Structure 1
Amino acid sequence: FQTVYDRMLADQRDTLALEGPMEVEGRFLTIGLHGSRMKDEANKDLGIVLVFEDLTELIKAQKVAAWQEVARRVAHEIKNPLTPIQLSAQRLRKKYYEKSPDFDAIFDETTNVIVNEVTSLKHMVDEFSKFARLPTPQMAHQSLHDVINEVTTLYRGAHKDIELVVSLDEDLPSLNFDREQLKRVMVNLLDNAIQAMQQKGRVWLSTKYDTKRRRAVVSVADEGVGIAPEDQEKLFVPYFTRKKTGTGLGLAIVRRIITDHDGQIQAGQNQPKGALFTFELPV
């Protein structure tokens, strides 16, 4: 209660929402606290309304559902490379017992398949480990524009058929964030945009300072194929991907980082075509 009240007074915010653990009669609950500033017709403060909400069961259900989905997708991703590995081993065994004259060629072909699939499986497991062990953000007060300029400089030099249209709000103040993690967010969103356009087209990157809500708003838009309606709710779920070579963890990691920074991210359609990703961070 005191934290919300003090932050709303210090930052002159109209609204603020926090959630965290609280012990109530020996039980540990997850409580959501929403603060709203009330003003009269003359815009003078009347006070602050605080609403408490018990989120314990909701969050527990969400976590169970999320991990059930993760388990299902992990099982699916592991099963995919196991099939060609099994078929290759069976073929190799069959050719060996048949004393086949082309055994040497079959041996080279099948072991190559096995090595490639095991490499793919190891990459998938490594990516999941990174997602599960994502470190606690090392926060520092710094310029978000410096990170954006650093990342866009790299992409301008590496993608000659990509036009980056960058628009940065000069009024955006410094933020408190983990530099390496926010850089990872920008790289992931730009990679997705470029891949969606088959390495050719325009990408729009912009920042805006929402002074009333004291939020930094960052948008990345492309002119690719866009987001299918049936995929909208699955984009940030671990292991969901439409890419032939993707792990499906990129956007899940992005959302995890933004959430760890007390921010939000959403995806939508760019107009007239393409995808639009927007995330917000507190200032």
Structure 2
Amino acid sequence: MTLTESVGRIMLFDEVLTMSARMAAATGDLVNEKRYDAFDPQLTMEIDKVRAILPRSEIERFVAETDEANLALVSMERQAFALVHQGKRQDALNLLNSPEYLRLKIVYADGMEKTVKAATAMIEEDVLNRRVLSFWLAAVNAVGTLLLLATWFFAIRSARSWAAERREASAARLQAQDELVRKEKLALLGQVADRVGHELRNPLGVMNNAVYFLQAVLSDADDTTREYLGIIKDEIADAERIVSDLLDAVRTKTPHPEKVEVGELMQQVLRKCDVPPSVTVHLDIPETLPAIRVDPVQMRQVFWNLFTNAVEAMPDGGELKIRADEDQAAHTVTVRIMDNGSGITQEHQANLFQPMFTTKARRVGLGLVVVKNLTQANGGSVGVESIPGKGSEFIVTLPSAN
């Protein structure tokens, strides 16, 4: 068997082993393990054949490098099968998509590439040293080298394409899992939200009226009394906001879209926001920007949440920038809300729109859930980009009215 054929079979068997392990982890079907057991010794046999074809020490080193990576990959894949037997399929999937596993796949491919390059150099050296060979033999060797390189080129391209596809599939799977967890949390909240919300709103209303009455009849009270009445009123307002967020998070009403001017919408929301003097607002809305088609009440709530979060991220002051632009091809308008506050870590960004996730004290983590639900209900999307220590940018894309 030629070197080219052995390289091709090695790439094929390696792919069969990888897919068998991942299919077992994804489906729990251990028939894939039997297939793995059948092809594992065949891969080892092909690697041994390459050793025999290329016995020189410089070639042996690269083959050994490939073999070492293969043994480590087999060990991790065997661990994955063991996890599947224990019912830990998610752990098995995580193992087979871990940075170490992907690193070994790259080492394996690099080892194969070095082996073929060294083999090519060996062939060229032999051609130069054996000048007694006839011209036709040299031509045949050259053609063989080109075929070998072509085979390796397609093998490497396939391996790289496989790695890219797996990364995309892994990202899509994680996104789907996050969305599933999000929906499960919202469903759980929905089971208790209505009853708890109504039961809390009644006593909160009574308490709010009582504070209003006391502030009216104790207008000449001392500073301490007025201060504590103010604290009670603020706490009631916080509790009412939490109840409203809870109900809005699990009960998104059907939007009533209409034509809305973006600049006017931003001004309306800013007037309702408590922006301290230490925060400077920069509004950049082009006059030629088309209107959007959304529910104005719902989108005011979306942008109020985002503006408030941006201001709270800058307790020592800073800049709140609001910029909008149009994508004519997509028929959308994008609004960007930027601050230069503390920023958000990569780990927290992944959970930012999950119910009950928050990094703030005295919050329950529902504000951004409401933002995402209402934005999606209006045919839009919301995302975030952030650098810890430098600030955050929330990006809201909405359908234009054109």
Pick the TM interval, shorter chain.
Answer: 0.5 to 0.7
Would you say how many aligned residue pairs link Structure 1 and Structure 2? 186
Matches within 5 A, 1:81-96: none
Give yes or no for contact 1:258–1:264 (8 Å, CA) kept in 2. Answer: yes
3-state SS, counterpart of residue 241 of structure 1: coil
In structure 2, the partner of 1:147 is: 265
Counterpart-to-counterpart distance in 1, 2:176 and 2:349 = 23
1:169 Cα deviation from its structure 2 partner: 1.9
Confirm whether residue 241 of structure 1 aligns to residue 241 of structure 2: no
Matches within 5 A, 1:107-118: none
Give yes or no for contact 2:342–2:388 (8 Å, CA) kept in 1. Answer: no
Q: Which amino acid aligns with 1:152?
A: L
Q: What do residues 189-224 of structure 1 show as CA deviations (whole Å, max 9, x unaligned)?
A: 011001111162111101101122221010001011
1:119 Cα deviation from its structure 2 partner: 10
1:187 Cα deviation from its structure 2 partner: 0.7
In structure 2, the partner of 1:191 is: 308
Residue 284 (structure 2) aligned to one of 154, 159, 167: 167
Give the TM-score, by structure 1 length. Answer: 0.57
Identity rate, percent: 25
Counterpart-to-counterpart distance in 2, 1:220 and 1:197 = 13
Give yes or no for contact 1:266–1:277 (8 Å, CA) kept in 2. Answer: yes
Give yes or no for contact 2:343–2:388 (8 Å, CA) kept in 1. Answer: no
- CA change 1:147–1:240 in 2 (3 A) is same
Unpaired runs of 5+ in structure 2? 1-173, 191-195, 197-234
Residue 203 (structure 1) aligned to one of 283, 296, 320: 320
Confirm whether residue 267 of structure 1 aligns to residue 384 of structure 2: yes
- CA change 1:60–1:273 in 2 (3 A) is closer
1:73 Cα deviation from its structure 2 partner: 8.7
1:152 Cα deviation from its structure 2 partner: 2.3
- CA change 1:179–1:270 in 2 (3 A) is farther
Confirm whether residue 65 of structure 1 aligns to residue 65 of structure 2: no
Give the TM-score, by structure 2 length. Answer: 0.41
Residue 329 (structure 2) aligned to one of 212, 225, 250: 212
Counterpart-to-counterpart distance in 2, 1:239 and 1:146 = 32
- CA change 1:165–1:270 in 2 (3 A) is farther
Unpaired runs of 5+ in structure 1? 1-57, 79-116
Counterpart-to-counterpart distance in 2, 1:138 and 1:225 = 36
Where does structure 1 differ by over 6 angstroms across 4 or more consecutive aligned residues? 58-63, 71-74, 117-123
3-state SS, counterpart of residue 182 of structure 2: helix
1:141 Cα deviation from its structure 2 partner: 1.5
Give yes or no for contact 1:70–1:238 (8 Å, CA) kept in 2. Answer: yes
Counterpart-to-counterpart distance in 2, 1:119 and 1:174 = 34
Q: Which amino acid aligns with 1:138?
A: H
1:120 Cα deviation from its structure 2 partner: 8.0
In structure 2, the partner of 1:228 is: 345
CA RMSD of aligned residues (A): 3.5
Greater fraction helix: 2
Q: Which amino acid aligns with 1:66?
A: R
Greater fraction strand: 1
1:66 Cα deviation from its structure 2 partner: 2.4
3-state SS, counterpart of residue 181 of structure 2: helix
Larger radius of gyration: 2
Counterpart-to-counterpart distance in 2, 1:69 and 1:150 = 32
1:63 Cα deviation from its structure 2 partner: 6.2
- CA change 1:183–1:124 in 2 (3 A) is closer
Counterpart-to-counterpart distance in 2, 1:254 and 1:273 = 23
Residue 255 (structure 2) aligned to one of 126, 132, 137: 137
3-state SS, counterpart of residue 282 of structure 2: strand
Q: What do residues 71-121 of structure 1 show as CA deviations (whole Å, max 9, x unaligned)?
A: 7899xxx9xxxxxxxxxxxxxxxxxxxxxxxxxxxxxxxxxxxxxx99988
3-state SS, counterpart of residue 347 of structure 2: helix
- CA change 1:224–1:187 in 2 (3 A) is same
In structure 2, the partner of 1:179 is: 296
Give yes or no for contact 1:140–1:176 (8 Å, CA) kept in 2. Answer: yes
- CA change 1:137–1:273 in 2 (3 A) is same
3-state SS, counterpart of residue 226 of structure 1: coil
Q: Report 1 or 2 for greater relative contact order, CA contacts < 8 Å, sequence distance ≥ 6.
A: 1
Counterpart-to-counterpart distance in 2, 1:247 and 1:149 = 28
Give yes or no for contact 2:354–2:369 (8 Å, CA) kept in 1. Answer: yes
- CA change 1:161–1:122 in 2 (3 A) is closer
Give yes or no for contact 1:73–1:239 (8 Å, CA) kept in 2. Answer: no
Counterpart-to-counterpart distance in 2, 1:183 and 1:197 = 21
Q: Which amino acid aligns with 1:147?
A: L
- CA change 1:169–1:245 in 2 (3 A) is same
